[in-house]
Structure 1
């Protein structure tokens, strides 16, 4: 399983806001990521199908709190009407870039000397 995560710099944990069972799986997915992926992996919790407000089974506040407690960013999206989809990817890519840039500054390629 760890080979699946090798080299991953970001992950989206996506659940369906209208199906609580999908949200219940998030904790296991997160544990698996933390066990097998790089410690600096950027993880975003994504509640999808926000267009199904009338069928909501996972309260936004509950998911936000889970994300906060676990050091994850959080967003709700709708793939159907494109709400926040681009924003989710922009946010995670910005965070990945920030972390990778900091790591390169701290760990210059071998042979390079910072003066």
Structure 2
């Protein structure tokens, strides 16, 4: 079995639902009371695709302005980025341009990029048209998906599609930070279904509401 290890950074303004998306996919739950991320948290999971296993390290970054200066620390060796905005918030969509520029300034290797319009369950309050979002996605070379963390819609597609693009990227041998190797077949998991990875360092969290959080480079405890 081919194994590909990749790092994904999840970027976007505060309140767009980045943490809710990650927790919905990996933790299979939704909470309306998730606290704002402090610094960054990360999760690990495995996704099986065809005859390969994609081991994802998902970094959920803070969207608050006071943490923006720290963001470049989390871009290091990133192989993919999820740029998330709230479809009911035009400012969060406008902010995507700044996140793209930061990525371009801090990541030198080829990068898989996905544009995500979250909170599709609030269609009645939409402030960003699908056409505008698709236009921006085309300009930055990203796939576009609308998601709802509340209703668990579209999120699996985002992660599985990103994993598939990382698998394709690994076949080009142009990305030094994207680790790929072969290992004996282990226990198979359903295609696209994430499973938790045994933690290899202290940044592993269960859920950011009550798990371990990395803030200012130090491991801190956060509680609800």
TM-score by length of structure 1 reads 0.85
Deviations 1:24-76 (A, max 9, x none): 10000011011101331111000000010000000000010011011111111
1:29 and 2:90 correspond: no
Distance 2:109 2:102 in 1: 12
What is the deviation of 1:103? 1.5
Please tell me the root mean square deviation across aligned C-alpha atoms, in Å: 1.3
Deviations 1:63-101 (A, max 9, x none): 100110111111110000011100110011100111022
Distance 1:6 1:28 in 2: 17
Question: Runs of 5+ in structure 1 lacking a partner?
Answer: 105-115
Where do 4+ consecutive residues of structure 1 move more than 2 Å?
Answer: 1-4
Counting only pairs closer than 5 Å after superposition, residues 45-60 of structure 1 correspond to structure 2 as 45-60=115-130
TM-score by length of structure 2 reads 0.45
Q: Which residue number in structure 2 is paired with residue 15 of structure 1?
A: 85
The 8 Å contact of residues 8 and 38 in structure 1, kept in 2 or not, is answered as no
The 8 Å contact of residues 9 and 38 in structure 1, kept in 2 or not, is answered as no
- Aligned counterpart in structure 1 of residue 171 of structure 2, from 82, 101, 105: 101
The 8 Å contact of residues 79 and 110 in structure 2, kept in 1 or not, is answered as yes
Distance 1:31 1:41 in 2: 13
| Greater RCO, 1 or 2 (C-alpha within 8 Å, sep 6+) | 2
Distance 1:19 1:3 in 2: 27
The 8 Å contact of residues 7 and 38 in structure 1, kept in 2 or not, is answered as no
SS at match of 1:83: coil
SS at match of 2:144: strand
- Aligned counterpart in structure 2 of residue 92 of structure 1, from 152, 162, 187: 162
Give 1 or 2: higher strand fraction: 2
